[in-house]
Structure 1
Amino acid sequence: MRTRWFDRPLETIAMLWRVERHDGIVLGFAAHDRDLVVDHVRYHAAPGMLPSAIEMDDGLDPLDMDIAGALSHDLIRSDDLAAGRWDHAAVRIGLIDWQVPGEGAGWFWHGHLGAVSIEGHRFSAELRGLKAQLDQPFVPVASPSCRAEFCGVGCGLSRSAFEHIATVDAVSAEGLAFTGMDEAPASGFVHGSMRWIDGGNAGLHADIVGSTDAGLQIDGPLLRAPAPGDRALLLQGCDRSLATCAGRFGNALNFRAEPHLPGNDLLTRFAVL
């Protein structure tokens, strides 16, 4: 791999974009006139992606960029952008000597996509670098509800014990009816999530916000209506209260909150004589 760039009178350099979406799809684009294969990933030529000026320094302030382009490449489709398949995708930007692509690329920027917007036949997106993580709170904020993600870091519960692969049985305006939830009550999936395994929404995530006799209700409409037979990976939910953590999951030892700490409503209470 080359370690020095722009040190020749005539350079043979192409810029590479490597995008890894949350649905598991990895896409590569090259600012070149033909496709390049680098580390078993095909980088497609002429994607019409235009970065803003790339600025780098040794400070701690986040230095963000924008990316814009035309919806002209077969791999950059408006329906995928609207469905959220590109939201928060991991991005790497680098350089490659297109004469010897087998030597590998020199990656100089790592980050992820921020907000994606579509206007006509063009799209634009924010590029958030690793320094953007410095904007996150350094210490947790006191709260009566648990700060840990269910089955995530700090929760201590095994995710596999609360996941179920289910199949869509019926679709209606009131909800999605599933079969194969291992006798788990539908109400147990409220505040949970789902990831579509196959069908037109494969790879997309959705939050489960309610349940009715007709099935589960999800947050927001899907770009494509699910069909009977589509499968999804369902994760049970938790309302982050101490009562649920202790009574339903027996996990009060890992409860990450201060449920008995007085809140701002204490200032508005009336004295009782």
Structure 2
Amino acid sequence: MRTRWFDRPLETIAMLWHVERSDGIALGFAAHDRDLVIDHVRYHAAPGMLPSAIEMDDGLDPLDMDVGGALSHALIRSDDLQAGRWDEAAIRMGLVDWERPHEGIAWFWHGHLGAVSVQGQRFAAELRGLKARLDAPYAPAASPSCRADFCGPGCGLSLARFEHVVPLVSADVHGLVFAAPGPEDADRFDHGLLRWIGGAHAGLESRILGHDGAVLQLDALPDEPPQPGDLALLVEGCDKAFATCSGRFGNAINFRGEPHLPGNDLLTRFATF
């Protein structure tokens, strides 16, 4: 692999982007005038897709940058950007000698997409490096509610027990109705997750906020309404309360919270004798 760059009078270098979207689609782009095929991956020519100034150091402070380009490539569509298919996509950036692609790619940046915006026929996105994860709180804060993600690390429950593949019956501005659940057990899906696995919205996810009878209410409805018969994966939810963990799931031993911790109102109480 080539390790020295920009040391020739005339360089033959192209910048590559490898994108893995949250819906499972992987795409490659090259800041070049023609497609490049490297390691069985096609990097589509996108000469107008360029980052802002790239700054790198050996510190731990996050170094963010931006990327922008024209919505002229068939693989970068405005409706996909606005639907959230590109949100939090994993990104790799590298350099390659387009005359000698067999020498391999020198990857120099890894991260993910942050905020994505569309203005007219151009898009702009924030690129966040791996060091941005170090901004997250390290020590957990005491809380009466559970800190673990439902069926995630620390919870101990199997996600497969709470997944249901069901077809859509109807959709309107109030929410969605599926073949299941019925009104009597729709509350099991409050605080849950919906992932489309069929239809035009396949791969997109939404949080289930609550229900009204058999109608599931989402945090965001797709711009284009889904069609009856579209398949969705519904994941039951948890309100992270100790009573729910103990009574509904029988999982109190794995509860990651302090349900009996006194609240701040304890400080304002008068002593009684």
After superposition, give the CA deviation of every residue in 1:65-90 in whole Å (9 maximum; x if it has no partner): 11111111111111111111111110
TM-score by length of 2: 0.94
Tell me: CA distance 1:184–1:107, structure 2 relative to 1, closer, same or farther (3 Å).
farther
For residue 134 of structure 1, give the secondary structure of its aligned residue in structure 2.
helix
Unaligned runs of 5+ in 1: none
What amino acid is aligned across from residue 110 of structure 1 in structure 2?
H
Question: Structure 2: which amino acid aligns with 1:67?
Answer: V
Q: Shift of residue 181 of structure 1?
A: 5.3
Aligned 1:2-81 pairs, distance under 5 A: 2-81=2-81
Q: Is the 8 A contact 1:49 1:70 kept in 2?
A: yes
- Unaligned stretches of 5+ residues in structure 2: none
Alpha-carbon shift at residue 260 of structure 1 (Å): 1.1
For the residues of structure 2 that align with 1:71 and 1:121, how far apart are their CA atoms?
5
SS in 2 for 1:156: coil
Q: Residues 1-273 of structure 1: matches in 2 within 5 Å?
A: 1-179=1-179, 185-269=185-269
Q: Is the CA contact 1:47–1:73 (under 8 Å) kept in the aligned structure 2?
A: no
Runs of 4+ in 1 over 3 A off after TM superposition: 180-184, 267-273
- Indicate the RMSD between aligned Cα atoms, in angstroms: 1.9
* Conservation of the 8 A alpha-carbon contact between 1:170 and 1:176: yes
Structure 1 residue 27: deviation in Å? 1.2
Structure 2 letter corresponding to 1:36 = L
CA distance in 1, matches of 2:177, 2:269: 44
**How many residues in Structure 1 have an aligned counterpart in Structure 2?**
273
TM-score (norm 1): 0.94
Offset at 1:270?
Answer: 6.5
**Paired amino acid for 1:248:** R
Q: CA deviation at 1:47?
A: 4.9
Using the alignment, how far apart are the partners of 2:31 and 2:140 within structure 1? 43
- Per the TM alignment, residue 209 of structure 1 is displaced from its structure 2 partner at its CA by 0.8
In structure 1, distance between residues paired with 2:239 and 2:47: 43
Mapped partners of 1:106, 1:190: distance in 2: 46
